Structure 1
Amino acid sequence: MKQTEFTIIGGGIAGLTTAIALQQTGIKAAVFEAAPVIRPVGAGLVLAANAMKAYQHLGIAEEIIRAGTRLKQFSIYNEHGRMISHTDSEKPSLKYGINNFTIHRAELHRVLGSRLEPGQIRLGKRAIDIVPDADGYRVLFEDNREHYTKYLIVADGIHSPIRKKLLPQSRIRYSGYTCWRGIADNRRLQVRESSETWGLKGRFGIAPLAGDIIYWYACINAPQNNPAFRNYTVEDLHHLFKDFHEPVGEIILQTRKDQLIWDDICDLEPIGQFAFGNLVLIGDAAHATTPNLGQGACQAIEDAVMLAADLKSHSMVADAFRSFEQKRMKRTRRIVELSWQMGKIAQTENPMLAGIRNTLFRLMPAAVNERQLKMLYEVEF
């Protein structure tokens, strides 16, 4: 049975960023990832200014910037193409020190993985249980192997079995809407604007990425776990969104079937504890959020930098984990709940409520939007 001082369960964005942050404080953590190969799910994501500031702090922002695309502006339209709201992403981002970026998850994983030592990430190791003892934890894996560690950082996502053991009352919430994600060819369309379209039959988001491709997502209200959606084709989705303004339909048709990903949108109902002695939950294992504010990965990245700082400033690991919990609980809870509320607003199918919503968004003073951006982006490392 092998032993390490620090172990990270989960090799996603939270786990890899944390491993890099710990490495810079002199801690080499073993990283165990369930997948046999790194195959990023979700296609694309936004790295908002707060996440990019964290990567600046770690000294890897420039490499990520080269792999991404600057998000200059973000607009919301109704299904007929009339603007509901518009945000100039550059002005507030510069105020907070750096721009927002969009990036393909595969590119972000590549950059993060390149900063770790060969063999530091161990694939095909799905953790299913832990057994605490006086000196640490035995981590039990699906392949019937086990690993001993003194300190454990759990970053294995929203469905974390370790969190479920520690907090059996923790609950994953279904948002009420399901989602398809895809990558489309942008060479002919040349879409340059990031946007969302809010219609009565669903919502469609667009984010251009580097390399002349578009990351897009399409959400509709639906019962949970509908198996028919798993086999939806590009043509099925084109039919669903046929009444939306262009280039929505064209983007769907520029997508190969093997580039479609489907899943229900869920979050983790806010929990009351991240730290458990020499064990701590981070990222989606601690505070999974719906994607409506674009903050899921961003909050995990913040976690990594702040956890490393606490470990550097505390002589006892349990004290560091408890300090991390105290710093992160209120902020992540606020973002989870605000994102949940925003999804309900965006997904309404009631024509009268949608009309009122659109009018209120058009009339909303810029100061209101600025306060929300300040809450998201203003973070110190």
Structure 2
Amino acid sequence: MGKSAVIVGGGIGGLAAAVGLRRIGWEVTVVERAPVLDDVGAGISLAANGLRALDELGVGKAVRQASRAQYSGGTRTPEGGWLARMDGAALEKAVGTPIMGIPRATLHRLLREALPAGTLLLGSAAGPVRQAGPGAVRVGCGETILDADLVVAADGVGSKIRDHLFPAHPGPVYSGSTVLRAITEQAVALRTDFELTWGHGTEFGHIAFPDGRAEWHAVLSLPAGTRFTDPLAELRRRFHDWHAPIPALLDATRPDAVLHHDINELRTPLPSYAVGRIALLGDAAHAMTPNLGQGACQALEDAVTLAAALTTEPTVEAALTRYDTERRPRSQAVARAARQAGRMGQQLTHPLPVALRNTAMRMTPSRTAIRMILRHHAWTPPHLN
């Protein structure tokens, strides 16, 4: 088996795949079309499954040191009443680690630092991917042609490689929700590590970071493509009477720091994550709504599973068959669960279903909630060494 790979896409999933392949002795080139990697306005909650994947990639310790554990918080109403409290200590006892909050840019940097200089080609748009004989795949990259034994398509929800491999697939669709988010410019006085607040068709949440700053996000049920002239002013108007610290989080944010993206998902599951010597990974394979906080964690699982399969199977094709067999059922089940969580959470708008949901959440014992979380968090990675 040859051991050279081209990874298309330099996001978290693509970099994690590069780190994993490097750990098993492969030569890797990551092709990223963006000239500058800049995702300063976002944060990530990493659950136990994502952290275990990072441990196998050799960067788990560094990620934990740069993160803040989520021991306190939960879900609230706009008036401030608690629907559910998060018992981070109980979750840590059950799975061995609390959920950790980290700026996305920090996680990205730690993955980059685990790769040799020259691995990442910025400002390089990948062209067509095609088979170049029985044992190689060819990727166009500007005026350069890259030949490899494996191509990993980690080019996101709008993956061009996925569209080429599955031209009859309907592709991503709008989830019905749009998200605005930012990281505060300065520290904010927070009494909890993590919170979600559900209104009618609206959600506001925050993740606290070690330096006292926080990432916040506002999810709104709006038509696709809706944009605001002054996003921060619009959010202040919508959330001015919601409980603390929501107004303070908005006040601690620069107007030009707010990012706004529609949430798209692969609602129609793909029939396979592998075709020949091409593997789909992360959002390119299973873009999901963020309602379970599992998007990045599933991409990290993909990366470790792919690298492990390549160490145990005799050919690239056999390894990708195993990768598909192991990853597709789990990741697609998580995507379905995330979609359902959104429908029962942020996307509910009618007062009666909202009231019934709130009552059910208040009556659910914390141990039952932890069992539900464990369905997604309790994943054991294959070993790479």
TM-score range, shorter chain: over 0.9
Equivalent in the alignment of 1:232: 230
Aligned partner of 2:194: which letter?
Answer: S
CA distance change for structure 1 residues 284 and 188 in 2, over 3 Å: closer, same or farther? closer
| 8 Å contact kept, 2:188–2:214 | no
What's the counterpart of residue 325 of structure 2? Answer: 326
Matched residue count: 376
From the superposition, tell whether residues 201 and 245 of structure 1 become closer, same or farther in structure 2 (CA, over 3 Å): farther
Structure 1 Cα separation of the partners of residues 323 and 272 of structure 2: 11
Cα 1:42–1:273 change in 2 (3 A) is: farther
* In 2: Cα distance, 1:369 partner to 1:190 partner: 24
Matches within 5 A, 1:268-347: 268-269=266-267, 270-346=269-345, 347=347
Q: 1:289 to 1:300 in 2, by over 3 A?
A: same
Alignment of 1:339-358 (within 5 A): 339-346=338-345, 347-358=347-358
The AA in structure 2 aligned to 1:368 is T
Q: 1:195 corresponds to which residue? A: 195
Q: CA deviation at 1:215?
A: 0.2
3-state DSSP of counterpart to 1:29: strand
1:50 partnered with 2:49: yes
Which residue of 263, 266, 273 corresponds with 1:265? Answer: 263
- 3-state DSSP class of the match of 1:203? strand
TM-score, normalising length from structure 1? 0.94
Q: Which amino acid aligns with 1:267?
A: E
The Cα of 1:311 is off from its aligned counterpart by 0.4
| Cα 1:377/1:303, change in 2 over 3 Å | same
Structure 1: which 5+ runs fail to align? none
The answer to whether the Cα contact below 8 Å between 1:53 and 1:98 also exists between their aligned partners in 2 is no
What TM-score does the superposition give when structure 2 sets the normalisation length? 0.93
Gaps of 5+ in 2: none
- Residue 309 (structure 1) shift: 0.7
Aligned amino acid, residue 235 of structure 2: L
Which residue of the partner structure matches residue 129 of structure 2? 130
Q: Alpha-carbon deviations, 1:322-375, whole Å to 9, x = none?
A: 101000111111110110111111121111111111001111233432222221
Instruction: Tell me what 1:176 maps to.
Output: 176
**After superposition, where does 1:30-109 map in structure 2 within 5 Å?**
30-40=29-39, 42-109=41-108
- For 2:324 and 2:67, locate their aligned partners in 1 and report how far apart those are by CA, in whole Å: 31
The structure-2 alpha-carbon separation of the partners of 1:288 and 1:256, relative to structure 1 and needing over 3 Å to count, comes to: same
Query: Does the CA contact (< 8 Å) of 1:198 and 1:204 recur in 2?
Result: yes
Aligned residue number for residue 119 of structure 1: 118
1:232-286 superposed Cα distances (whole Å, 9 cap, x missing partner): 3322210011231121112111110121000111111221110111111011110
- Shifted more, 196-205 versus 354-363: the winner is 196-205
CA contact (8 A) 2:12 2:299 kept: yes
Decide whether aligned partners of structure 1 residues 188 and 207 sit closer, same or farther in structure 2, where only a CA change above 3 A counts.
closer
Tell me the CA shift for residue 58 of structure 1: 2.5
Find the counterpart in structure 1 of residue 250 from structure 2.
252
Equivalent-residue separation in structure 1 for 2:24 and 2:102 (angstroms): 27
1: CA distance between counterparts of 2:89 and 2:298? 20
